[in-house]
C-alpha cells in the first residue's frame, strides 16, 4: 500500500471565489442564452441603425411557401439558405430558433423577458464580484496579463502549434488563454451589458448615451446578438479544450480548487 504521506499533494489552482463565480456564470449564461433566443424569436431579424427597415434586414430567419407547405430560410446579407427544421421553421411552426433552444419552450415574450432580466442582474452582480476580487487580489496582473516575452510572434506561434498538437502545459495559463480570458472579461462581457442597456427604453430615457453609443437601438440589438454568439463560440472552444486536455484534472481543479501534480513524461 502506498504511503499516503509520500503521495504528492494537489497544487492550489483556483480560489473559492473564482470557482463560485465560474459555476454561477455557467448557469446564468445558459439561462440568458435560452431566454434571449425566446426574445429574439419575437422578431427574428437584425438591423443596423435606429429603425427596423423590415425590407432590408442584414440577418433574418423566415418561413416561406414551398410547394404545398412551408420551408425555413436563414438570410445573412445577400446569402440565403434553407434551414428547415432548425431555423425559421421547426416542427411545422414559424420560429427563429427551435423550441428546445428557448426558455420557455413555448412562445411567450413576456416570460422570456422576465427570465432574461432577472438573470441579467445576477450576471452583473456575479461579474462585479469577480472583477473586484481580481483587482484586489491581483489575480489579473499575476495570472492573466501576459508578459512581453509571451507576446512575441515566435512564442505565440509556438503556443498555436502546441494547441494544434493537443499539447498543453498544466498548472498555468498560456498566452493564448490569457488573451482569450482578458478579451472575454474586459471586452465581450461589458459589451453585452452595455448593448443590453442600449435596447431598454427605460434606460435610454434616463441615459440616452446607452443607445447613441452604438449608433441606434437596432445596432445595439445586433451587437448584443453578435457578442452573445461570440460568447457561445468561446464557451464551446473552452469546453472542447477541457475535454482534450484532461477533463477529470480540469474539473477537479474547478470543483476542489486543487490540481494533481503533473507527472513527468506526461504530454497533456
pLDDT single digits (tens) 143-180? 788 888 888 888 888 888 887 777 776 656 778 888 88
Q: Which residue has the higher pLDDT, 48 or 170?
A: 48
CB 176 within 8 A of CB 151: no
Q: Which of 92, 120, 95, 77 has its CA nearest to residue 40?
A: 95
Residue 260 has pLDDT above 70, yes or no: no
- What pLDDT shows up at residue 18? 82
257 pLDDT more than 80: no
Task: For the chain, give every domain's residue range.
Answer: 17-55+108-259
> What are 11-28's pLDDT values in tens digits?
556 778 888 888 999 999
At 241, is the pLDDT very low, low, confident or very high (cuts 50, 70, 90)? confident
**Is domain 17-55+108-259 classified as CATH 1.20.950.20?**
yes
226: confidence class by pLDDT, cuts 50, 70, 90: very high
pTM of the model as a whole: 0.82
Where do runs of H (alpha helix) occur along the chain?
Answer: 16-41, 109-136, 139, 153-164, 175-183, 189-198, 201-206, 209-212, 217-244, 247-256
Mean pLDDT computed over 180-198: 91
Residue 12: per-residue pLDDT: 58
Amino acid at each position: 500500500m502506498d504511503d499516503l504521506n509520500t503521495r504528492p499533494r494537489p497544487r492550489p489552482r483556483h480560489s473559492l471565489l473564482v470557482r463560485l463565480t465560474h459555476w454561477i456564470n455557467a448557469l446564468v449564461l445558459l439561462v440568458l442564452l435560452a431566454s434571449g433566443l425566446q426574445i429574439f424569436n419575437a422578431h427574428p431579424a437584425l438591423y443596423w441603425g435606429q429603425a427596423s427597415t423590415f425590407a432590408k434586414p442584414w440577418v433574418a430567419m423566415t418561413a416561406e411557401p414551398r410547394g404545398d407547405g412551408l420551408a425555413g430560410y436563414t438570410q445573412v446579407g445577400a446569402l440565403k439558405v434553407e434551414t428547415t427544421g432548425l431555423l425559421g421553421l421547426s416542427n411545422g411552426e414559424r420560429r427563429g430558433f427551435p423550441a428546445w433552444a428557448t426558455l420557455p419552450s413555448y412562445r411567450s415574450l413576456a416570460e422570456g423577458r422576465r427570465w432574461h432580466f432577472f438573470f441579467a442582474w445576477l450576471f452583473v452582480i456575479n461579474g462585479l464580484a469577480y472583477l473586484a476580487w481580481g483587482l484586489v487580489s491581483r489575480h489579473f496582473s499575476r495570472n492573466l496579463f501576459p508578459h512581453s516575452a509571451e507576446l512575441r510572434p515566435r512564442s505565440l506561434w509556438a503556443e498555436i502549434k502546441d494547441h494544434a498538437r493537443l499539447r498543453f502545459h498544466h498548472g498555468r495559463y498560456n498566452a493564448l488563454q490569457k488573451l482569450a480570458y482578458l478579451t472575454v472579461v474586459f471586452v465581450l462581457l461589458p459589451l453585452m451589458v452595455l448593448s443590453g442597456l442600449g435596447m431598454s427604453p427605460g434606460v435610454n430615457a434616463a441615459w440616452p448615451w446607452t443607445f447613441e453609443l452604438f449608433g441606434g437601438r437596432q445596432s445595439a440589438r445586433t451587437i448584443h446578438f453578435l457578442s452573445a454568439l461570440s460568447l457561445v463560440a468561446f464557451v464551446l472552444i473552452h469546453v472542447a479544450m477541457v475535454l482534450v486536455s484532461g477533463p477529470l484534472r480540469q474539473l477537479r481543479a474547478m470543483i476542489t480548487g486543487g490540481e494533481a501534480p503533473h507527472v513527468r513524461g506526461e504530454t497533456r
